[in-house]
A and B are shown apart, each in its own frame.
Chain A
Amino acid sequence: MVVVAIPGPLQPYAGGRATVELRDSCATVGDALRALGEVFPGVRDRVLTEQGDVRHHLNVFVDEDNVRFVRGLATPVSDGSRVTILPAVSGG
C-alpha cells in the first residue's frame, strides 16, 4: 500500500482527506498519482498538467526524496512508501 499525503488546499478535492491510501499496486510515483487521479480528478488536475507533468511550482516527494532529483514520475515506489505533494517556495 502507498499512502499519498494531500496538501491542505487540495484536500477539498479529495473528499476532505489529508491522506489517501492506494491499495492497487503501484510501481512508480507516476502510477500512484494516476491512481489517485482516477478517484480524485480534481486533485489530478491541480497536481499534473494535461500532458501528465508535475506542475512547475509543486514538489512531489517519495518519502524524503524530491522526485525531480530522482527519476521524476518514474521514481519507484513500494509497499509502505509515502508520497507527499507540497507547494514549492514561490509567489510574489
Chain B
Amino acid sequence: MTGRVAQNGVLLLVGTTKGAFMFRTSGSRSKWTMSGPYFRGEPVYAMAFDGRAGRQRVWAGTGNPFFGSSLRSSDDFGATWTDREEHAIKFPSTSGLALKQIWQIRVGPAGDPDVIYCGVEPSALFVSRDAGKTWTANAGLLGHEHRPKWTPGNGGMCLHTIIPASDGRIGVAMSTGGFYRSDDGGRSWRARNVGVRAEFLPDKYPEFGQCVHKVVQHPSRPERLFLQNHWGLYRSDDWGETWHDIANGVPSDFGFAMAIHPHDPDTAYIVPLESDRFRCVPDAKLRVYRTRDAGKSWKAMTRGLPQEGAYESVLRDGLDTDAADPAGVYFGTRSGKVFASRDEGASWEMVAEALPSVVCVKAAMVTAAPARRQAVRKAGAKRESRTGRVLRGAR
C-alpha cells in the first residue's frame, strides 16, 4: 500500500530495514492509518518531519544496497518523493571518505528554518542551510584531531545523534567517539564525556572514545541532557560538561533507545536491554522505563505490553514522543512491532505487529490547513522538476 495518509493530527514516521511507513491518527490518537512501504527493500534508518516555515516535508535517508544512500523528501505525505539525479550527501574527494549510511536527519532550530542536519557513517555531520537543497560536510568534525582514534561499533562508525540549539551550540554523539559539543556554530568541537564510562577500554573514563548510543535534550531547558550509553545511563545539567549516573532502579543500564517528554525536562523514557551480549529486554518482558524525577528513580511501564516470552529489542532511534498534552510515546521493535501510548506511557496499544525490523520511529504534529499544504506541494514538485525526478509512491 502506498499513497498519502490522512492530513491532520500525529504523524508517525517508521523506518525499517526494508522500507519506510507512515502512520496517521486524528486528535484522539486512537485509530491509526498506515501507508507504505515506501522505498521497498531499502533500509531507512533516518526519517524526520520539517514543519517549519509553512512546510509539511517528510525526509528519509534511504540506503540502496547497490546504488548508495540517498536523501529523499516528500511534500505530500508520501504520494511523491524527490529522487535527485546526484546524491545529496557526498564527502569531498579530498577527505578520502565515502558515504556508507545516513543515520540521522534532524531539522535545525525554529529560528533557523532552512537549516537541516544529517549524521552519517563514516562519522560526519552534514549541514544544509537552504532547506535541504545543498549539503556540506562540517569541516570542524571532518578534520578533528580525534578522528583517527574513533573506532566503529557494531553498527559502524557513525554519527547518530544531533542536538541543535538556537544559541549556536550543537551537540553530536557517535559510536564510538562519544559526545562532542560546539559552542561556535560548528566551527570547533570539544569532547565532553566527563563521567561517562567506557567499559571496553583500559581507561574507563577517557576524554573520548565512549560508545554513546543516544542523547536527548529538552527544548525548554537546553542544558539538560540525558544519555544512554553502551552500559550506563547519565544526566547532564550543564550541556554535557559533566555527566552523572542515573541508573537508579533499572533492570539494566544497557540499551539504545531514549526519548524525552515534550513538556517536562524531568521526564525521560528508555527501553533497557539485558546486556551487550544478549540484546533483548530483560526477563523477556517488554518494558518501557520512565523517570519523572530526572533519573532519581525509574518506573516500568507495562500495561498493554507483552510480559512473557517477549525477546524484543528497540534500537537507538526506535523511541520517540509527540508534542501533545498528554504526551504520546511511540516505539518500534526489531521484530517489527510498533506500540503507541497516548497517556505518557501509562498504557500501550499495538499500532503494527508485523513490519520489517524497525530501526527508526519519529513522531510529529501535523496541523497545516489543506489549502496551504496544496500550495507547498505544488511548489515542491516544481522545484524538483529542475533538479531531479519526482517519483509517485516511490515503489
Of the candidates A41, A46, A52, the one whose C-beta lies within 8 Å of that of B68 is A46
* Residue of chain B at shortest CB distance from A52: B93
Known: A42-B85, A45-B86. A90 touches B99 (CB 8 A): no
Contact B65 A57 (CB under 8 A): yes
A5 to chain B minimum Cβ distance, whole angstroms, is 15
Of the candidates A45, A51, A87, the one whose C-beta lies within 8 Å of that of B66 is A87
Name, among B17, B65, B90, the residue most crowded by chain A CB atoms within 10 Å (CB to CB): B65
Contact B85 A13 (CB under 8 A): yes
* Residue of chain B at shortest CB distance from A41: B86
* Number of A positions contacting B (CB below 8 A): 22
Q: Which residues of B contact A91 (CB under 8 A)?
A: 41, 65
Docked CA distance A10–B85 (Å): 10
Chain B, 60-87, contact with A by CB distance < 8 Å: what is the 0/1 string? Answer: 0000111110000000000000001111
Query: Quick check: is B96 within 8 A (CB to CB) of the other chain?
Result: yes
Query: Quick check: is B91 within 8 A (CB to CB) of the other chain?
Result: yes
Of the candidates B85, B91, B93, the one whose C-beta lies within 8 Å of that of A41 is B85
Docked CA distance A58–B64 (Å): 11
Docked CA distance A73–B96 (Å): 17
Docked CA distance A57–B97 (Å): 17
Known: A45-B86, A45-B87. A55 touches B41 (CB 8 A): no
Query: Quick check: is B110 within 8 A (CB to CB) of the other chain?
Result: no
Q: Which residues of B contact A87 (CB under 8 A)?
A: 66
Query: Quick check: is B224 within 8 A (CB to CB) of the other chain?
Result: no
Query: Quick check: is A50 within 8 A (CB to CB) of the other chain?
Result: yes
Within 8 A of A (CB), among B4-43: 17, 41
Query: Quick check: is A78 within 8 A (CB to CB) of the other chain?
Result: no
Contact A57 B66 (CB under 8 A): yes
Docked CA distance A62–B389 (Å): 30
Docked CA distance A92–B91 (Å): 27
Of the candidates B67, B90, B91, the one whose C-beta lies within 8 Å of that of A46 is B67
Q: Which residues of A contact B98 (CB under 8 A)?
A: 49-51, 53
Known: A50-B93, A91-B41. A55 touches B86 (CB 8 A): no
A33 to chain B minimum Cβ distance, whole angstroms, is 14
Interface residues, chain A, CB within 8 Å of chain B? Answer: 9-10, 12-13, 41-42, 45-47, 49-53, 55, 57-58, 87-88, 90-92
Q: A46-B66, A50-B99 are in contact. List 19 more A-B contacts (CB 8 A).
A: A9-B66, A12-B389, A13-B85, A42-B84, A45-B85, A46-B64, A47-B67, A49-B68, A49-B99, A50-B87, A50-B97, A51-B97, A52-B93, A57-B65, A58-B66, A58-B67, A87-B66, A90-B66, A92-B17
- Write 23 A-B pairs (CB below 8 A) sorted by A numbering: A9-B66, A10-B67, A41-B86, A42-B85, A45-B90, A46-B64, A46-B66, A50-B87, A50-B90, A50-B91, A50-B98, A50-B99, A51-B97, A52-B93, A55-B66, A55-B68, A57-B65, A57-B66, A58-B67, A87-B66, A90-B65, A90-B66, A91-B41
Interface residues, chain B, CB within 8 Å of chain A? Answer: 17, 41, 64-68, 84-87, 90-93, 96-99, 389
